[in-house]
Amino acid sequence: STVLVLNGPNLGRLGSREPEVYGDGSLADLEVLLRASAPEGVEIDLRQTDDEAELVHWLHEAVDTGRPVILNPAAFTHYSYALRDAAALVTKAGLLLIEVHISNPHSREEFRHTSVISGVATGVVAGFGFDSYGLALDYVTRAD
Ligand code: DQA
């Protein structure tokens, strides 16, 4: 089976972007980590885009292919109703969609305290660095 690991805007800059908040690992490092921790037979399809429409299309693809999703919506978390509606399509189709964040948005600026995605996600993991993805993957591979 394949797990989609989808990443929103600016996450392509991981490693150099605010390392005090997001750590110094790159997205490529994250991919290596997840592949290493994925059980036998579980493929990791990790992608990143700065484009809201592309992210929406990838969620449609998840529905069409029946794949579970680990989603870091990045700043779209806080305001994208288009992404929320697309995420709802995934969970309403009976597929897992885990919202993840590297940082803990609740301990940061006020505007990060709201997630328009959480209400339609299966669950949320936040504040554990790259381990947020690992914890989500562990759940997905056991529950799926
Ligand atoms: C983030 C938190 C968001 O508030 C922020 O816009 C990001 C990354 C995280 O992984 O901690 O880009 O989703």
Every domain of the chain and the residues it spans: 2-143
Maximum C-alpha span of the chain: 41
Q: Please check whether the domain covering 2-143 is classified as CATH 3.20.20.70.
A: no
Positive/negative CA dihedral, 80, 85, 87, 88: positive
Segments of the chain assigned E as strands: 2-7, 43-48, 69-72, 97-101, 123-126
Q: Quick check: 132 pLDDT over 80?
A: yes
Distance CA 70, CA 46 (A): 9
Q: Give yes or no for residue 75 CB within 6 A of ligand 1.
A: yes
Is 44 annotated as belonging to a binding site? no
Q: What is the ipTM of this complex?
A: 0.99
Positive/negative CA dihedral, 103, 109, 111, 115: positive
Report how far ligand 1's centroid is from the alpha carbon of 101 (Å): 6
Report how far ligand 1's centroid is from the alpha carbon of 11 (Å): 8
> Which residue has the least CA distance to atom 6 on ligand 1?
75
Is 112 annotated as belonging to a binding site? yes
Residues designated catalytic:
22, 101
pLDDT-derived band at 122 (thresholds 50, 70, 90) equals: very high
* Contact (Cβ atoms closer than 8 angstroms) between residue 137 and residue 1: no
Q: What is the pLDDT of residue 135?
A: 98
pTM of the prediction?
A: 0.97
Helix (H) or strand (E) holding 85: helix 81-92
Chain segment 36-57, per-residue pLDDT in tens: 999 999 999 999 999 999 999 9
